Structure 1
Amino acid sequence: MMKLTKKRVVLFLLFIFPLICFLILSTGKNNFTKLPVVTKGVVDVSTLDTLQTFKDRISIVCFLGNDIDTQKGGFFNLNEKIYKKFIEYKKFQVIAIYPKGKEEEVKQLKKEISAFTDMVKWNFVAGSKEEIVTLHGSFNSGNALSNLYTSNVFLIDKNGNLRGRLTDADSKDGKLIGYNMNSVSELNAKLKDDVLVLFYEYYAAFKEKNENKADRKEVGL
């Protein structure tokens, strides 16, 4: 009988258990709850930088504001709890919006974060006050920016729609539209799970599409 060692338990928790969860979620059609669209067709980040886009990407969007230095804790939380978990996923990115004129502060933030991770999927985008307010306003989150900053980060799907929760037990009206990056528990228990659900949703759609193609081929269509 195989001895249940501490090493085997750790290996199971790190590799085998997540794989089992993935197989359960990805088997069959529509056997998991899709993440709700809470706002359709938000303003694309290409309006600030033509080299960037939300299209065909799963994006986490954050707003750095005018006082970047005092808000660093949340960005480190986002990097550790979310970015590092999904850096290997294709089509994943973090979009960090900051006001024009704050390039030096952004440079310092990037330097500090890069000491712990590869920044390849962090994209920093500068915009005017008007552009930033317009972009954030298109999310219809119900919360205004403060000094062009918010502790909430937002999840945008490949079609440029804002995703979130409509039946969140911890929210007053049940809606969770932004995720508080100052809350490690919220990042861990909610945003991470919701990003996974979104990836599984696209995986299931891709799988179903290929199965339908195979079925049509078999019947000569």
Structure 2
Amino acid sequence: MKKFIVLGVLFILPIVAYLFFASGVHNFAKLPVIEEEIPELKLQQDVRLENKITVLGFLGNTIERDGGDLFNLNQKIFKSFSGFDDFQFVYLVPETIDQDALDKVTYELSQLVDLSNWYFVQTPQANINTVFNSLNTPYSLQEDGGSPYIFIIDKDRKLRGRDDDEDYGVLYGYDSSDIAELADKMKDDVKIVLAEYRLALKKNNADRKK
């Protein structure tokens, strides 16, 4: 019997250890809060951060450049999580953008995925600057008023990211032009935030039944 126990331990422990390390540290912890209390969006369109898990982006006027980034996001992030009602994409767009170019991109995206939870909100550049600066990141908006970086905002309007990233140290946002960063980091982090709220919902439902 002892022989079988020893053999079992020797066989099982390496598998458990492998699964733990292969899954990554971030899958076993909450995604860190990088900035508290991001101000609510003040937009004419009824789009809000509160009670939504939001991917927040800043499109800028150069739709020719940013259009490819939007398709990267659709393929690597949005399609995987578009079924969650509380998950949304919000892009702030300058009022001076080429409307025809924007319409063309959104139409092409709509042929690939349901865009009912993906919002392109046109607003004055001054408002875009205010929202971007409220995130308190080391990034800056580009000359066209946009940024390749996108950000995860949780339901309590907190900026989520990584405080121990192997490449950046603190990871405030994700470069939408970098497919590897979207696939290897952002997708994992969105999963974690969604899992947090699913677990909290299950706990609340269990507590109500007691």
Fold shared per TM-score above 0.5: yes
Match of 1:135 in 2: 131
Deviations 1:111-167 (A, max 9, x none): 121222221111111111110000010011111100211111100101111110000
Q: Distance in 1 between matches of 2:94 and 2:108?
A: 19
Instruction: Tell me how far 1:44 sits from its aligned partner.
Output: 1.9
Structure 1 stretch displaced more, 195-204 or 106-115: 106-115
Name the SS of the counterpart of 2:190 in structure 1: helix
Moved >6 Å (runs of 4+)? none
Q: Which runs of 5+ in 2 are unaligned?
A: 1-22
TM-score, scaled to structure 1: 0.78
| Structure 1 stretches lacking a partner, 5+ long | 1-23, 25-30, 216-221
2:150 to 147, 150, 153: 153
- What is the rounded CA distance, in whole Å, between the counterparts of 1:98 and 1:120 in structure 2? 17
Quick one: percent identity of the two aligned structures? Answer: 34
Aligned positions, number? 184
- Could you tell me how far apart the structure 2 residues matched to 1:204 and 1:32 are? 13
Task: Give the RMSD, CA atoms, in angstroms.
Answer: 1.8
For residues 174-218 of structure 1, what are the alpha-carbon distances to aligned partners after superposition, in whole Å with 9 as ceiling and x for unaligned?
A: 100100111111111111111110111111212222333344xxx
State whether residues 59 and 157 of structure 1, in contact with CA within 8 Å, keep that contact through their aligned partners in structure 2: yes
1:1-221 superposed matches below 5 A:
32-45=28-41, 47-102=42-97, 103-146=99-142, 147-171=144-168, 174-215=169-210
Query: For residue 124 of structure 2, what is the amino acid of its counterpart?
Result: S
Q: Whole-Å Cα distance in 1 between the matches of residues 157 and 44 of structure 2?
A: 15
Corresponding residue of 1:21: none
Distance in structure 1 (CA, Å) of the matches to 2:171 and 2:180? 14
Give the whole-Å Cα distance in 1 for the aligned partners of 2:145 and 2:58. 7
d(CA) in 2 for partners of 1:79, 1:211: 35
